[in-house]
Structure 1
Amino acid sequence: MSTRARTPATTAADDHLANSVTHRVADALAAIEAPDVVLAVTRRGRRTMMTAGTRTPATTTPPPTPRDELHYEIGSLTKTFTVLLLADLARTGVLSLDDPLAAHLPVLPLPHPDSRRITLRHLATHTAGLPRIPGDLVPGALLHPYTSGYARYDTELLLRTFARTRPRHRPGTRWHYSNFGVALLAPAMARASGTDYPTLLTTRVLRPLGLVGTTPGPAHTTASAIGHRRDGRTPAPAMDMGAFTGCGAVHSTPGDLLTYAEAHLTPEATPLSLPLRDVQIPQLRCGWRHRETHTLTWYHHPAPNGPMLFHSGATFGQQTFLGFHPASGTGVAALATRRGNRCRLVETAYDLLYALAADPGGGGADRTP
């Protein structure tokens, strides 16, 4: 286990709080089983970052990159970046959240009337009525679980598939998680702005927020985390998301994810203050008996002293979690190079954030169901 911390000038009370956070992070880290794990907390401007894992780094010259400096596949956490970009384009008048999707796509034959009713907001909030993935990806996913079917999907195929897909329900009436829907935001934003999605994301979100280690795709560096299959030993192939880049292709570092969380905690300190606030506004109720709330992009759960917002992501060999609690100024980032039932990364990180939210003074409390 290794620990790194960034601390400004502190008081005795600050030090007590930091020690409490450190102990909590260490306990949570011990509950996550994976070859590589990074668990990081930002709390009132102080950062605590700890790493561990079952993988023994090879003895090489130069030494291997520390776990907390690697670039990780963040999977569906990418969606929060894409929707923040959408909110920024809406704030600057490039488009409106309630524009019909069809208005920002090439002319398509849309035989199903509900397809023309789908708006950009519906896509962002998973209420467009589209399936989780296109139907023609399902057989391949079952037969070849570690082969990315997304890789063969270019934008032209994505749009053709959308044109022939009948929405499952009238847009805006039900919540149904959809990679397919969020993927369509990328070509829509590109057409509305005249700029491709990777360039848009880099120039309008990543650079303004100072996310120098975050890229809309592979980082093209030897410091990339290597994912593992469920056995914890077999390397998993890197994800190629094809036209689904906007819903799962971003790579990032633990430090950048904390910076991203801090931007949401203090939007006024960034160039994207209004979009960062917009993506935190509750939009709808979802889940069992509509007990859960969803913002434009974040899950929004009740917690002591105020709600906490979070999202997770997974690829073939990696998992991520990012959440924040505005009332206590707390953010939690968790990353691991394994996806599997025994990893427990998401639930452990969620419980850590809840515990920190429960007691802003640092003492904490048990999570109540």
Structure 2
Amino acid sequence: MNGVRRQARAVAGPLLAPLAAAAPGASAVAVAAHLAGERLLAVGGSTAHGAAGLPAGPETRFAVGSVTKTYTALLLAELVAVGDVRYDDPIDRYLPPGAAPYRRIGGAPITLLHLATHTSGLPRLPPGLLRRALPRWFSNPYAEYGPGDLLAALAHTRPFAAPGTRVRYSNFGVGLLGMLLARAAGEPFGGYERVLAARVLTPLGLLRTGGDGAAAEDTTGYWHGRARPPWRIPGLAGAGVLHAGADELLRYLEALLYPGRAAGAGPLATALAEVARPRLVVRPGEDRIALVWNIRQRPGHVLCFHSGGTRGSTAFVGFSPERRVALVAVTNSAPALNGAFIQRAYLLLRELAGGTTRFGAPSPIG
């Protein structure tokens, strides 16, 4: 164990090198890891290119895109733990009259669990969203698409498969889940961020994690070298609204590694333990899906992971419950077509959990 701890102390800085190389155009890259009981953080660069940039640090926030979905899954598990909802609740229970999607006569309804496991049969995006987003496609495509628009689209949606029969990643589904959970918790459909803060973020001490980045210390996003505004995403908040720093992202993963330490013996601790439990098998003996989290079997342990991206950010989070290892990697440049940053981050997580990491010298970010 002492040898592992000595190695752990040397990890975080050198980890920046391969991640920075996989993030061309970024002004900042951050990596945080939990390994052998130690917290390791390294941040390089500045919040923006040029004179406007401030030195980036552990609390500097990045847009995390679809990593938000994992928080929505935890919110679902918390509401289940306190008895406010059930996983098998049909979504119709929380929808206004006339908003439910098409269902075959005698067919099974879409449930909250279907939304959280990408088995709802809903498409990746709400019908009509792309047409609405095109005028702002390269800046803020979802800014003018609100909860009412999503509900209107849902009423005209015909699922491509019966609920529970096929896995297909759906921003629509998890965005809808966030809205329904807000409603179940007594808020309007647009109250996702308030409910998430009250039920998950504040109890876990994640006080800087939240919606659109407007503070001076938040990173400016870059896409092909051009600065991009932070996304506003009111209609799909549960699918991608959050911004967070490397420090709080790691604290979030540590809560998943040690539920009792993070939340005592209450319902949130139950939710933290429940959220990463496998729900279905995607490929026999290989990939599984928990509540939103992807799970991959490795020799003697599993890896739970998720990634996210916006027009100006890329994020990866993952952990191994058995090995008590977690990794955060974030940068303020859009995902590359080859997925290099996310792939590099996943491999680092795999190496850390497998005990096979080798480190080179750190390199500058630019």
Q: What TM bracket, shorter-length normalisation?
A: 0.7 to 0.9
User: What amino acid is aligned across from residue 226 of structure 1 in structure 2?
Assistant: T
Contact 1:57 1:64 survives alignment (8 Å): no
Q: What's 1:3 paired with?
A: none
Tell me how far 1:305 sits from its aligned partner.
2.5
- Equivalent pairs, count: 347
The structure 2 residue matched to 1:199, chosen from 194, 204, 221, is: 194
Tell me the residue number matched to 2:125: 133
1:199-278 pair list within 5 angstroms? 199-215=194-210, 217-230=211-224, 233-271=225-263, 272-278=268-274
CA shift for structure 1 position 286: 2.2
Instruction: Write the distance in 2 (CA, Å) between the matches of 1:157 and 1:139.
Output: 13
How do residues 283-302 of structure 1 correspond to structure 2 at under 5 angstroms? 283-286=279-282, 291-302=286-297
* Unaligned residue ranges in structure 1 (runs of 5+): 1-10
Structure 2 unaligned spans of 5+: 360-366
Deviation at 1:30, TM superposition (A): 4.8
How far does the alpha carbon of each residue in 1:272-313 deviate from its partner, in whole angstroms, 9 at most, with x for none?
A: 2110111111011226x8842110120001123300100000
> Counterpart of 1:313 in 2: which secondary structure?
strand
Closer, same or farther: CA 184–143 of 1 in aligned 2, 3 Å:
same
Describe how 1:64-143 pairs up with structure 2 within 5 A.
Answer: 64-108=54-98, 110=100, 112-114=102-104, 117-139=109-131
For the 8 Å contact 1:137–1:149, the answer to whether it is kept is no
Counterparts of 1:316 and 1:22 in 2: how far apart (Å)? 27
For 2:101 and 2:182, the matched residues in 1 are separated by 24
Distance 1:185 1:88 in 2: 14
Q: What is the aligned counterpart of 2:151 among 146, 159, 163?
A: 159
TM-score of the two chains, using structure 2 as the length reference = 0.87
For residues 45 and 89 of structure 2, the distance between their equivalents in structure 1, rounded to whole angstroms, comes to 46
Is the contact between residue 39 and residue 51 of structure 1 (CA under 8 Å) also seen in structure 2?
yes
* Aligned twin of 2:346: 350
Aligned residue for 1:68, secondary structure, equals coil
SS at match of 2:227: coil
Tell me, in whole angstroms, the C-alpha distance in 2 between the residues paired with 1:69 and 1:274.
28
- 8 Å CA contact 1:31–1:348 kept in 2: the answer is no
The residue correspondences of 1:19-38 to structure 2 (distance < 5 A) are 19=9, 21-22=11-12, 25-34=15-24, 35=26, 36-38=28-30
In the aligned structure 1, how far is the partner of 2:101 from the partner of 2:212?
37
Give identity over the alignment, percent. 34
Closer/same/farther in 2, CA of residues 191 and 182 from structure 1, 3 Å limit: same
CA–CA separation in structure 1 for the residues paired with 2:99 and 2:303: 42
Opposite residue 309 of structure 1, the aligned amino acid is C
* Range with greater deviation from structure 2 (81-90 or 25-34): 25-34
- Other structure's SS at 2:307 match: strand
Q: Deviations over 1:93-138 (max 9, x none)?
A: 1111110000011111547225870000001111000000023123
Q: Pairwise CA RMSD of aligned residues? A: 2.6
**SS, match of residue 326 in structure 2:** strand
Asked if 1 retains the 8 angstrom alpha-carbon contact of 2:16 and 2:44, the reply is no
SS at match of 1:270: helix
Given candidates 253, 274, 278, the residue that maps to 1:282 is 278
For 1:50 and 1:284, how far apart are their aligned partners in 2?
Answer: 35
Question: Partner of 2:223: helix, strand, or coil?
Answer: coil
Provide the rounded CA distance (Å) in 2 between the counterparts of 1:26 and 1:329: 21
Secondary structure of 1:126's aligned partner: coil
Deviation at 1:53, TM superposition (A): 5.0
For residues 72 and 131 of structure 1, the distance between their equivalents in structure 2, rounded to whole angstroms, comes to: 27
Q: 2:179: which partner in 1?
A: 187
Cα distance, 1:146 vs structure 2: 1.1
Give the equivalent residue in structure 2 for 1:8.
none
Per-residue CA deviations over 1:180-202 (Å, capped at 9, x if unaligned) read 11111122122222123222100
Name the CA distance, whole Å, in 2 between partners of 1:105 and 1:111: 10
CA distance in 2, matches of 1:223, 1:332: 23
Distance 1:24 1:221, change over 3 A: closer
Within the alignment, does 1:172 sit opposite 2:168 as a pair?
A: no
Give the residue type in structure 1 aligned to 2:207. V
1:278–1:200 Cα change, 3 Å: same
> Structure 1 length normalisation: TM-score?
0.86
Mapped partners of 1:193, 1:178: distance in 2:
23
